[in-house]
Chain A
Amino acid sequence: MALPPQLKSIQHHLRTAQEHEKRDPVVAYYCRLYAMQTGMKLDSKTPECRKFLVKLMDQLETMKKELSDSESISQEIVGNAHIENYAIKMFLYADNEDRSGRFHKNMIKSFYTASLLFDVLSVFGELSEENIQHRKYARWKATYIHNCLKNGETPQ
């Protein structure tokens, strides 16, 4: 289903959900939950957004049933730890590549995905100062390295 333009800012979180559907359904579930909550704040009044959000809610309810055996879904505190560990793992992989001078598409994507997952952590409550800093750094690094590679420059 096409994403209404009013909900454009959740498109990357929804794409991350799609990419993790098989690899890590818990990540997919919480990315969609974040998109749902954010989408409702952005616009849940216009018919096109309501329609989109109702579909997304249907999908979340189905996923919750299918994943009911997973404690990361039935207990949000476990889910919180799962998403935080995953985000930090992504961040550390990209950071390690960065510090070793290995710049490539995969590490840019890891930095960016980590930053999106730090956004997702906000469904569990206010982000810690450390996670806010990690998110800022990961997003900046992803943009910076992407631009360097695009312009044929070596990142510093």
Chain B
Amino acid sequence: TGSVGTSVASAEQDELSQRLAKLRDQV
């Protein structure tokens, strides 16, 4: 379950980074 938890966390982190890039018109 540890690795599942870690991948969920990194997917959410990724989503946040993508939203930030979009917000700043960097995509």
Interface residues of A (CB under 8 A from B): 33, 36-37, 40, 44-45, 50, 53-54, 57, 60-61, 64, 76
Distance of A91 Cα from B21 Cα, bound (Å):
31
Q: Which residues of B contact A54 (CB under 8 A)?
A: 12, 16
Question: Main secondary structure on chain A at its contact with chain B?
Answer: helix
Distance of A40 Cα from B19 Cα, bound (Å):
12
Expressed in whole angstroms, the minimum distance between the Cβ of B17 and any Cβ of chain A is 7
Q: When the two chains form the complex, which single residue of B13, B16, B24 contacts A76, counting CB atoms closer than 8 Å? A: B24
Question: Main secondary structure on chain B at its contact with chain A?
Answer: helix
On chain B, the number of residues with a Cβ less than 8 Å from chain A's Cβ atoms is 10
Contact A40 B9 (CB under 8 A): no
Contact A57 B20 (CB under 8 A): yes
Distance of A76 Cα from B23 Cα, bound (Å):
11
Distance of A45 Cα from B11 Cα, bound (Å):
10
